[in-house]
Amino acid sequence: MKLTIRRGGGLAGMVTQTELDAQTLPKPAAQDFAGAVARAHLASQPAVQPTAPPARNWPDALLYDISLEETGPPVSVRYTDETLPENVRKLVAWVDGRPERVESIEP
């Protein structure tokens, strides 16, 4: 299981990517990871996002693309700081706190 969080927009307009592969985690952490992913219900979101722009009440909000690779085809969902559900926010914070994560800044 691999989770890829891409963030863009925001005050800085910078694009970053954070990856976490469950295989790099010790067993208890891998279980926590699986639990946090399950609670985020990413798979229940539509796999293909509508291209219509959302209501924009929050200038400088971050844009999120969260992609989960398990056994089947990858599931990808998109949010903003305005629409990010609490359990997805918790998942993102959990991943951000893991030393095993791999971060990069995209040009």
Interface residues toward another protein, by CB under 8 A: 6-16, 49-51, 53-65, 78-83, 85-87, 89, 93, 96-97, 103, 105-107
Closest CA to 60 of 75, 80, 43, 45: 80
Interacting partner of 101 out of Zn ion, another protein, none (Cβ under 5 to 8 A depending on kind):
none
64, 92 Cβ separation under 8 angstroms: yes
Nearest alpha carbon to residue 91 among 22, 11, 9 = 22
State the binding partner of 9 from Zn ion, another protein, none, CB within 5 to 8 A by kind.
Answer: another protein
Q: Is the dihedral of CA 47, 52, 55, 58 positive or negative?
A: positive
Whose CA is closest to 30, among 70, 82, 85?
70
* Site for Zn ion contains 60 (CB under 5 A): yes
Nearer to another protein, 25 or 95 (CB): 95
Give min distance, CB of 34 to Zn ion, in A.
37
| Interacting residues toward Zn ion by CB under 5 A | 59-60
